[in-house]
Chain A
Amino acid sequence: MTRRRGHRTHPGRYRRRAPGEPRAVGYLYILPALALYTAFLLYPFGQSVWLSFLHWDGLTRATPAGLDNYRDLVTDPGLRASFGHALLLLVFYSALPVAIGLLLAAVLARTRVRGMAFFRTVLFLPQVLALIVVGVAWRSILAPDGLLNDTLRAVGLGSLARPWLGDYDWALPAVGLVGTWVGTGLCMVLFLAGVQRIPRELYEAARVDGAGPVREFRTVTLPGLRPQIAVALTLTIVAGLRNFDLIYITTAGGPGNATSVPAYEVYHRAFETNQVGSAAAIGVALTVVILTLTVAVSRLVEGRRP
């Protein structure tokens, strides 16, 4: 233990002891990456911000819009609804996968499962598939005569069968469940890796103290997985809010606009309805929402470390 601690503090002290190091060289090292980042991310983002203050159809001369495009975000009921849908989808895209992943990890940490590598691969598989493929597959599963409804009918729950993607009340949860299916594997694999890094002694100590599985989970596993939970939440939240492919393939925002989300609206307005300024404003707003949420996550879950 002591040796390790010494190692950890050593480099820090070293850095503080070297004030004469030519720092400017450091920028030279990151310059290539920075140049790429600027060209492909920062510059376009700046453009987006600029465009969001314009009315522009993508072809003819743009006219200044002031805050019009941003005002629409609040006043246009359709746009407001799309942000609402996105937040609701986060339950499916983020909260559920993390919860299920934790549960699976907790169970798997206590019991030895034969063929673990196989199950891990299967559960992780959705992450590897292109979302387009996932969307096409689920579109047929959720079809009126698809696998899900057939199964429901086969087990005598035919009254629950419905055209999932075409039902005003169920389309959003149905798309959400696809997101849960995609995200769960990632979370579980992250948590399993995390559990393996928790020192065995802690579990043994907890057991000696007479802790049951629930208590063991609360006092050992959960705190030990904090960094992984933060990573999982961040990744799934970003994926959830960026969610465009699944909506595009499964419902195109329908029925009506029951499943429209901001990321889909960005595409839709920029490429299909010639409202580039509005699309840019939605994109900028979405970026702000994502940033806010990820910062909040790292503060809440990781503690105030950064």
Chain B
Amino acid sequence: MGLSGRPLPAMLAAGAILLAAACVPGTDGSGAGAPGPGAGTGIPDPATAGRVTLTVWDQEIRGGQNDELEQLNREFHRKYPNVRVKRVARSFTDLKATLKLALSGAHPPDVVQANQGYPDMVAFVQAGLLAPLDTYAGIYEWNTRYPATLLNLNRVTADGRRFGTGRLYGISQTGEYLGLYYNKDVLAKAGLAPPRTWGDFTASLRRLKDRGELPVQFGNLDKYPAIHTFGVLQGRLGAARVRDAILGHGPGFDTAGTRTAAATLADWADRGYLPKGANGLGHEDAAKKFASGEGGYLLTGTWQLAQLKKAMGDRLGFMPPPPATAGADPVTTGGQGLAWSVTARSRHPEVAAAYLDFLTDRHAADVMTAHGVLPAVAGEAAASVPPDTVDGQMIAGWRRLSAADGLVPYLDYATPSFYDTLSESLQGVIAGRLSPDRFAAVLQKDYGAFIRKQRRSAPSAPAAPAATR
């Protein structure tokens, strides 16, 4: 998440949104239940669509991702010369901030990358701004291309209230998960091998600290990195329960797992396993420090791999967080990149669907692999990546995680305000200002209020039936 955004002064921004949205409060969202376009069963042929300009809004601006997408766009144009892809690329934060206005405006883009969860995708579906893609999923066999766990994250119920089930509103190109980056030199100097179990890992933290090394590099000024760290700690204490809570089932977040994970995080900060004053250090700065040799581990996502590899070369290693016992199934926070969705008012939904298919098929997967990007579903090229390289480690980890169903979705999907609540409270936990008990209570308050509201507004479809998985 970059800070390249150039936000307008707030008053101006408030004015602009109000002006732009002048008559929208009357929109009743009746489009939410509209049937999907392209009800046919044959594969649509964009070559017969005439001259088409496909406007695409995405956030793939990092090195590898950008290159991969540029190449695929060029190839798509070569395949269908009558289709021009007009790409608008912004940072994640900028896209998130502008997409709502663009979608509800008079000329929405045809294809957009929408973030999963309540604040974005669910809200857009509720307002009838995205087109359901189930028909295309059948035609293009996305249903079999993707494991259900991943595809489900892009589903929203027909009433537009819950996600994780229901209609398909997008398809993701990349896979991503949180793992442990390690500096081979720093570990070796302390006489350590890459940890194989969680016990190894925690023991190595103590050892690194005793040797005067920083065990875990970490910067939380941007507020979100702690969500990732906490998510990994919590996920390994009961992945299924956390996943249920995020999708609106089960008891929620006031659990022993939440408290233990928060206590662990506070303990790490207390013992100096994390940098002193981590709340005042930016995430990118922390990553740079790690790359320059400060810190044994860095716990962050696969999207950072290309950048770190460039700086560290062979000194960099990567793995999913180690399991409790050697060789056991790994568990971590992760899932897939933002969903690529077709807007409800796109004038070329069939061309857009063909584009989505093109971006996610086997060939696209190989292009991604060539650019050091993790495809959601590995292509043939993945097999020829040497397993002892960091790219190979990343791909192998993804394969093990997918096979073991070991991915827990991002915690901030849980409620529209969960990102705020979590990130704010975790800064308190790290600073030692918020006890694990209080922390669990704060999360539960946010979560409980949202679930109650969901139930109230949809009495016919209870938001939290007993977990059925």
Residues of A within 8 A of B (CB): 40-41, 43-45, 47-48, 51, 54, 56-62, 132, 136, 139-140, 142-144, 162-168, 171, 242, 244-245, 248-249, 251-257, 263-264, 266-267, 270-274, 276, 279-280, 283, 286-287
Contact = CB atoms under 8 A, between A and B. Distances in A.
Interface of B, helix, strand, loop or mixed by DSSP = helix
A252 B222 contact: yes
B7 interface: yes
A47 B22 contact: yes
B129 interface: yes
B280 A270 contact: no
B428 A166 contact: no
B27 A143 contact: no
Interface in B404-424: 416-417, 420, 423-424
Contacts of B7: 132, 244-245, 248, 267
Please list the 8 inter-chain residue pairs (A to B) with the smallest Cβ-Cβ separation, ordered nearest first: A163-B280, A166-B280, A163-B277, A166-B279, A59-B127, A62-B25, A244-B10, A263-B10
Nearest to B7: A248
Given A60-B126, A163-B281, A267 B13 contact: yes
A254 B221 contact: yes
Contacts of A244: 7, 9-10
Contact of B277 (A144, A257, A287): A144
Interface string B174-216: 0000000000000000000000000000000000000000000
Given A143-B282, A266-B11, 8 more contacts: A44-B19, A58-B100, A143-B280, A166-B220, A252-B223, A254-B279, A255-B427, A263-B10
Contacts of B431: 166, 168, 255-256
Interface string B119-131: 1000110110100
Interface size class of B (residues with CB under 8 A): 35 or more
Given A132-B6, A166-B280, A48 B18 contact: yes
Contact of A163 (B11, B26, B279, B416): B279
Interface of B: 3, 6-7, 9-11, 13-19, 21-22, 24-29, 96-97, 100, 103-104, 119, 123-124, 126-127, 129, 220-223, 275-282, 285, 416-417, 420, 423-425, 427-428, 431, 433
Nearest to A78: B424
A232 B103 CA distance: 42
A47 to B, nearest CB: 4
B346 to A, nearest CB: 17
Contact of B25 (A54, A140, A166, A242): A54
Given A47-B22, A263-B10, A276-B17, A254 B104 contact: no
A145 to B, nearest CB: 8
Contacts of B10: 242, 244, 263-264, 266-267, 283
A60 B29 contact: yes
Contact of A254 (B13, B26, B424): B424
A132 B420 CA distance: 23
A274 B18 contact: no
Main secondary structure of the interface of A (DSSP, over half): helix
B190 to A, nearest CB: 22
A184 to B, nearest CB: 21
B17 A274 contact: no
Candidate in A40, A162, A249, A267 with the most chain B CB atoms within 10 angstroms: A267
14 contacts: A40-B15, A44-B15, A54-B25, A60-B28, A132-B6, A162-B277, A244-B9, A252-B223, A254-B223, A256-B425, A263-B9, A264-B10, A266-B14, A287-B11
B52 to A, nearest CB: 27
A271 B21 contact: no
A55 B345 CA distance: 26
Given A56-B25, A168-B431, A271 B97 contact: yes
A254 B427 contact: yes
B279 A255 contact: yes
Contacts of B103: 59
Most B CB within 10 A of own CB, among A164, A272, A283 = A272
Contacts of B433: 168, 256
A270 B127 contact: no
Nearest to B220: A166
A280 B14 contact: yes
A132 B6 CA distance: 7
A283 B18 CA distance: 11
A59 B124 contact: yes
A263 B11 contact: yes
A101 B248 CA distance: 57
B183 to A, nearest CB: 18
B446 to A, nearest CB: 12
Given A144-B281, A163-B277, A264-B10, A270 B428 contact: no
B448 to A, nearest CB: 18
Contacts of A162: 277, 280
Contacts of B285: 140, 143
